[in-house]
Structure 1
Amino acid sequence: MTTETGSPKISRRGVLGAFAATAVVAAPTYSKAAGFLRGAGDIRRLRMYNGRTGESMDAIYWIEGDYIKDSIKEVNYFMRDWRRDEVKAIDIRTLDIIAAAHNLLDVREPYLLLSGYRSPATNAMLRARSSGVAKHSLHLTGQAADLRLSSRSVNQVAKAAEACRAGGVGRYYGSNFVHMDCGVVRSWGG
């Protein structure tokens, strides 16, 4: 369609159609969490709050291809077994999944961390109280986290984590949290 002067007439529908086509072409197609973090300003960041300890964390843990040792130590301490005050190195693949899912959700709200590393004693105690706690949980090896966002549903958070195709994702609707780990790609509770 053209105007009386012969120049093309731009309609709202045409602009939206062009934008949609561009967005589809530009959409990421990475199959791993780190792929979703590319183009994130060459930084990786974790924002979390722990209601049990009252601690908050906002850490840039990766810049332009390098993990920052001091930030990783901060994350490891933050995600410790708070019941026993035991620290374990958290697998960076898990951190990347957590950060990538947060980026995909496009929120500034920090995650509420319910559980990061669990000592064998803590895991056994929780297992005695609930059938939902695995005997060989990836929390024991620092490869899992249980997280919540108040501004997003369990399903929304889980779908963002699943989009990373980089580990396990569990939906716990009754307790309002999502489990993310860097183990085998799988999902449950959905």
Structure 2
Amino acid sequence: MTRSTFTRRALLRVFAASAVSAAPVMANAFGFLRGAGDIRKLSMYNGRTGESMDMIYWIDGDYVGPALDEVNHFMRDWRQNEVRRIDTRTIDIMAAAHNLLETSEPYTLLSGYRSAATNAMLRSRSRGVARHSRHMTGEAADLRINSRSVSQIARAAAACNAGGVGRYSGSNFVHMDCGPVRTWGR
């Protein structure tokens, strides 16, 4: 049995001709882009580490393991250099919301996974950090897109009807998670 390895660049080349950017037709992030030849893509920049990623992480009904590994590493707790598996439901919500925003600008990731130590440190500095944050279980992300307002991003995430959406207008970011459907903030 031979094992073929696909690099991110090879996958992008293979699917570039057939990739169609389509907004979800259902109000559920997990139901979007179904059918033959479908892909899901995620594009992000991390100002803390200077890293960028732009990749296909799901092809025709299957998650791409090496791509998810890269997402996990990208969304790591950079303060502790600790990696945790990011829940694919959160990744799907992020991708669906981005599609709805109709922009090619990547998300800026402010916070993905947080270790207990990092969460405690941030909590000591801010009232807005939950003691049992979904960030600590790899189920949340704090994101911004410079060309879109907090309200626009939050509306797109809430339209997925698939998790929590927090608006932090004063800090210019939106929290997305795969927990119960709920919204908060201004």
* TM bucket normalised to smaller: 0.7 to 0.9
The 3 A distance-change label for structure 1 pair 153 and 39 is farther
Residue among 156, 162, 169 paired with 1:160: 156
Post-superposition shift, 1:38? 3.4
Match status 1:110 vs 2:141: no
Question: What code does the residue aligned with 2:39 have?
Answer: I
Q: Tell me the secondary structure at the aligned position of residue 131 of structure 2.
A: coil
Residue among 42, 45, 50 paired with 1:49: 45
Q: Tell me the secondary structure at the aligned position of residue 170 of structure 2.
A: coil
The 3 A distance-change label for structure 1 pair 96 and 123 is same
Q: Tell me the secondary structure at the aligned position of residue 37 of structure 1.
A: coil
Residue among 136, 139, 161 paired with 1:140: 136
Q: What does residue 96 of structure 1 align with?
A: 92
Normalised to the residue count of structure 2, the TM-score between the two structures is: 0.85
Q: Tell me the secondary structure at the aligned position of residue 174 of structure 1.
A: helix
Post-superposition shift, 1:35? 2.1
Equivalent residues of 1:36, 1:164 under 8 A apart = no
Unaligned runs of 5+ in 1: 1-26
Residue among 147, 150, 171 paired with 2:146: 150
Tell me, in whole angstroms, the C-alpha distance in 2 between the residues paired with 1:60 and 1:82.
23
Tell me, in whole angstroms, the C-alpha distance in 1 between the residues paired with 2:174 and 2:36.
23
Post-superposition shift, 1:28? 5.4
Q: What does residue 74 of structure 1 align with?
A: 70
Match status 1:59 vs 2:55: yes
Question: What code does the residue aligned with 2:161 have?
Answer: R
Aligned length: 164
Tell me, in whole angstroms, the C-alpha distance in 1 between the residues paired with 2:149 and 2:36.
24
Task: Out of 27-36 and 125-134, give the one that drifted further.
Answer: 27-36
Normalised to the residue count of structure 1, the TM-score between the two structures is: 0.83
Post-superposition shift, 1:59? 1.3
Tell me, in whole angstroms, the C-alpha distance in 1 between the residues paired with 2:60 and 2:43.
19
